[in-house]
């Protein structure tokens, strides 16, 4: 459904009843990457899976807004929760770019949060080279559209075996990339390049936290994520076998099992 905020309409999948579980997608995708989790946890939780500003069926930024920061995306989520009259603590689960938004939710809207799930993401900021690459990518998106992503992005997002088998996960992600707004993706790419380093704040996280990473994630590797988890007090780290960066979509059964256990245990 569409939710009207002050300056934008956001699309948000809203399914089930109970404790709110909010799922934040990665770049340049939309809420459909969480289809297996929506189906499973919609039986026990109220699952909210928004399309972030500029993605999926949410409004693209206006022409004069060429950058959308991670703080803006966190403030959008805060406003969305207000619009839905949700005032109980949420379980916030973000993948990659969605994880960058989790850091800003922790910094800016800590009282919204009950538990955190960080999937295939990182706490550090971009190196100058990576930030420069994002600007080049943003220009290319604005002039050519999203199609060129399909040449290189699947190899980064998925385990080699997922691509070889041409699974539904692979096909549906290619479709989300095709559907995404070039202007929205360009603005978020610039926003990611501007994000700050959250590494020194990991020790301040005072929430039950689960950190999950696909075994073959080449973007945020298991080693990097395991070391990140070790800095968050009490956090649990789990590696999902036979999956790359898109672990919840690539290998949903073990992912859902790990998430389900965390949701049950951390309630006690």
Q: Which residues bind ligand MLT (CB under 6 A)?
A: 26-27, 96-97, 192, 219, 245
> CB–CB of 22/90 below 8 Å?
yes
Nearest approach in angstroms of CB 177 to ligand MLT is 11
Q: For the CB of residue 192, give the shortest distance to ligand MLT in the complex, in Å.
A: 5
Kindly tell me which of 202 and 263 has the beta carbon lying closer to ligand MLT. 202
CB nearer to ligand MLT: pick between 27 and 106 = 27
Query: Rounded to the nearest whole angstrom, what is the least distance from the CB of residue 8 to ligand MLT in the complex?
Result: 20
Tell me if 191 sits within 8 A of 199, measured CB to CB: no
Instruction: Specify the residue, 126 or 231, whose C-beta has the smaller distance to ligand MLT.
Output: 126
Report the side by side order of strands in the sheet with 113-119: 2-4, 9-15, 46-50, 20-24, 90-95, 113-119, 209-214, 236-240
Question: How many whole angstroms separate alpha carbon 76 and alpha carbon 134?
Answer: 23
Count other Cβ atoms within 10 Å, centred on residue 161: 13
Contacts of 171 (CB under 8 A, 6+ apart): none
Query: Shortest approach of ligand MLT to residue 249 CB, angstroms?
Result: 11
**Residue 242 phi, psi dihedral angles, 5° rounding:** 55, 40
Rank residues 115 and 122 by Cβ distance to ligand MLT and give the closer one: 122
> What is the rounded CA–CA span in Å between residue 258 and residue 237?
10
- Distance CA(9)–CA(11), nearest Å, equals 7
- The SS3 call for residue 112 is helix
In the structure encoding, which two tokens stand for residue 77, read together?
A: 């989520």
Q: With respect to ligand MLT, which residue has the nearer C-beta, 35 or 44?
A: 35
Report the nearest approach of ligand MLT to the CB of residue 27 (Å).
Answer: 3
Residue 265 CB, nearest approach to ligand MLT (Å): 27
CB 217 to ligand MLT: min, Å? 10
Neighbours of 17 (CB within 10 A): 11
Nearer to ligand MLT, 45 or 245 (CB): 245
Q: What is the dihedral of CA 231, 48, 86, 257, to 10 degrees?
A: -50
């Amino acid at each position: 459904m569409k939710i009207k905020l002050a300056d934008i309409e956001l699309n948000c999948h809203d399914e089930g009843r109970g404790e709110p579980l909010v799922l934040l997608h990665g770049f340049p995708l939309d809420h459909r990457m969480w289809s297996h989790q929506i189906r499973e946890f919609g039986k026990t939780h109220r699952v909210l899976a928004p399309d972030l500003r500029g993605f999926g069926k949410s409004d693209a930024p206006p022409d004069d807004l060429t950058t959308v920061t991670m703080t803006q995306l966190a403030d959008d989520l805060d406003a969305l929760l207000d619009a839905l009259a949700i005032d109980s603590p949420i379980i916030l689960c973000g993948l990659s770019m969605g994880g960058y938004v989790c850091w800003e939710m922790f910094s800016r809207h800590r009282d919204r949060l009950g538990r955190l799930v960080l999937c295939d993401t990182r706490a550090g900021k971009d190196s100058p080279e990576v930030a420069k690459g994002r600007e080049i990518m943003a220009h290319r998106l604005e002039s050519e559209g999203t199609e060129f992503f399909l040449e290189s992005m699947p190899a980064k997002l998925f385990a080699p075996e997922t691509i070889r088998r041409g699974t539904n996960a692979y096909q549906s992600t290619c479709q989300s990339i095709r559907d995404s707004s070039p202007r929205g993706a360009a603005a978020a790419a610039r926003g990611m390049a501007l994000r700050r380093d959250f590494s020194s704040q990991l020790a301040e996280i005072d929430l039950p936290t689960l950190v999950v990473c696909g075994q073959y994630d080449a973007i945020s590797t298991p080693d990097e994520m395991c070391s990140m988890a070790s800095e968050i007090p009490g956090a649990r780290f789990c590696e999902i076998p036979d999956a790359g960066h898109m672990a919840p979509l690539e290998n949903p059964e073990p992912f859902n099992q790990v998430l389900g256990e965390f949701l049950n245990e951390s309630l006690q």
